[in-house]
Amino acid sequence: MDKENLGCSGGAEARTATGKKRRTSRTQEELKAVAHPLRQTKITAKAVSGPRKDDELVRLVQLLRTGDAEEKNAAARALDSLAVMNAVNRVAIASAGAVDPLVQLLRTGDADGKTEAASALGNLAVM
């Protein structure tokens, strides 16, 4: 990532109007930590929007069932993104068996997992 092109709202350094470098409030590590899940969600959403969508949905549901906490959270986040304002995806996600593992994540997951599962279930409930 090019620190000079990030602007003042992100990155470890930004340029002032005179071209001098200055520190911003976020470090590179913080940006990577924030950007990784967002990037992963976009990648997953792209992957499951193609012709093999059903296979990819089954893989996400499998991650919900057997993945570690981070994988479960990412799978729930991806399913949530796919369910937003897309009735076809909501039906496909439910048909792939995502509801039960999402409920399980809501019951037993960490705080992030519970949040992701609740959001995904909420979007799946919209018809």
Q: Where are the domains of the chain?
A: 1-35, 48-125
- For residue 28, what are the CA distances in angstroms to 2, 32, 40, 84? 11, 6, 18, 30
The CATH class, in words, for 48-125 is mainly alpha
- Single pTM value for the model: 0.61
Task: Provide the pLDDT for residue 125.
Answer: 94
The tens digit of pLDDT for each residue in 5-60 reads 444 444 444 455 565 555 544 455 555 555 555 555 554 555 455 545 678 899 99
- What angle in degrees, to the nearest 10, is found between the helix axes of 28-47 and 53-66? 130
Other residues' Cβ atoms within 10 Å of the Cβ of residue 56: 20
- Is the per-residue pLDDT at 64 higher than 60? yes
